[in-house]
A and B are shown apart, each in its own frame.
Chain A
Amino acid sequence: MNGHLSSRPSRTAHLSVRLLLSTAVAGLALAGCRGNKSAEPPVHPNLNMDFQQNYKPQEENAWFSDKRAVRALPAGAVAQDRDRSDVELNSGRGADGRLLNGLPASVKLDDALLARGEERFGIYCSPCHEKSGYGHGIIVQRGLKVPPPSFHEARLQAMPLGYFFDVITHGKGTMKPYASQVPVADRWAIAAWLRVLQVSQRAQIADIPDASREQLLRGTP
């Protein structure tokens, strides 16, 4: 009687332990490991106000049919946080409406401007125009229908500096405007660097300052 009683619960206990273990193992296997790729949104076991009912930039708002929490600007909206009173700086044109042939008075030509221009040219222009300015950038190599002109052709060498600022700002032909990607000061830096590229391609050895010329002829940096 006793033996009979003791064997039955023990078997159930064994079974339930086995069931528990196998559920645990199956659960762990299903849950996967850290770092596994998943297209499902993260599940946070403790929500902690991780996701709040406010809108961060570019978030979704189901209220609007296009779901954009950030509303498109109405036509004709003017940014009010930018000072546009400096006409030369902002338009690339002088008081007479002609394109500036040089930097606007408020932009100082120095090493920092050229370094900035080189960097920005590398980011925004070189994909098409190539770092050298000849116009065989990676996008052109991959089949841009209308390749950009070389900056070193006579027509563009003769252009005033304001022309390049104007083209960056408003685009030209198949090139779209870069005003939203490149702020005004950077556009001038790029234009200045562009001029450096142009000068570099037609420079004579006599144009180089004495100290640097020796260095150049030695062939060491």
Chain B
Amino acid sequence: MAQIFPRWTNKIPLMVGVGAPVALCGVVFVVWYYFSPRFTDVGYQPKQPVPFSHKLHAGQMGLDCRYCHSTVERSSFAAIPPNATCMNCHANLDLGERQKRVQPVIDSYEGKKSLEWVKVHMLPDYAYFNHSVHLNAGVGCSSCHGRIDQMDVVYQAEPLSMSWCLDCHRNPEPNLRPHDQVTNMAWSAADADAYDAAKDPNRKRKFDAELVSPGMPRTPEHLNPPISNCSGCHR
């Protein structure tokens, strides 16, 4: 009498026993690696309507970030500058061959068409973020945006994920600088090591490591980043 199950079916338990854990590991790996903002968002480098180079303006020419992003210390939003800011210089510059690169800005300034810059750094809409608070606490631009002064076309350098935010909020000190260094793109890890926020008398908000932990009493003049309170950011 013929067997109901052919001989190869003997291997099924083995295949399932080995295959299922391997497949499960594969799924876990795929979600961990590919669903993370470190994969989905880091490296986003959209094409912009004007070939504006931060590497040239902020890097080689050394313009301060705040010359153009002038609202960053006063507002939650670091505004893309109006065309008028570009024209402060470009109305009186003739770049010769390269002048046509600036032409869209000039046209826009003369009222022809809005420039449609593409936003690079997008926080989720349910997360509150305020640029001015971070700057005034002594967090530098490059801590979150990377070496913009070395980017011809800006890309997202950091994941801007919740765990990435919390890494710093739970231990802000390595990312704090003197206030006059916030726009210094070349601020290095060595500079950070040499600077002790707790001992800087010029800080607007005092840094006290003791206070940056849940449950400790806090006062407005102390650096007081939301740590364990959901509504600190999801308000």
Contacts and interface: CB of A to CB of B under 8 A. Distances in A.
A33 B45 CA distance: 15
Which of A6, A43, A143, A181 has the most chain B CB atoms closer than 10 A to its own CB? A181
Interface in B38-85: 38-47, 61-64, 66-67, 70, 74, 77, 79-80, 82, 84-85
A49 B36 CA distance: 16
Interface string B89-109: 101111100000000000000
Nearest to B180: A119
Interface of A: 1-2, 5-6, 9-10, 13, 24, 31, 33-46, 48-52, 54, 56-60, 66-68, 119, 122-124, 127-128, 138-139, 142-146, 174-176, 178, 180-183
Counting from the closest, the 9 A-B pairs by CB-CB distance are A52-B125, A50-B124, A123-B64, A181-B70, A57-B77, A42-B41, A66-B114, A6-B8, A5-B6
Nearest to A144: B92
Interface residues of B, number: 54
A16 B122 CA distance: 41
B35 interface: yes
Given A37-B43, A38-B45, A138-B62, A124 B180 contact: no
Contacts of A66: 113-114
A45 B61 contact: no
6 contacts: A9-B6, A49-B126, A51-B124, A57-B77, A58-B119, A181-B67
Contacts of A35: 38, 42-43
A174 B62 CA distance: 22
B7 interface: yes
Contact of A144 (B85, B87, B89, B124): B89
A203 B124 CA distance: 56
Nearest to A123: B64
B88 interface: yes
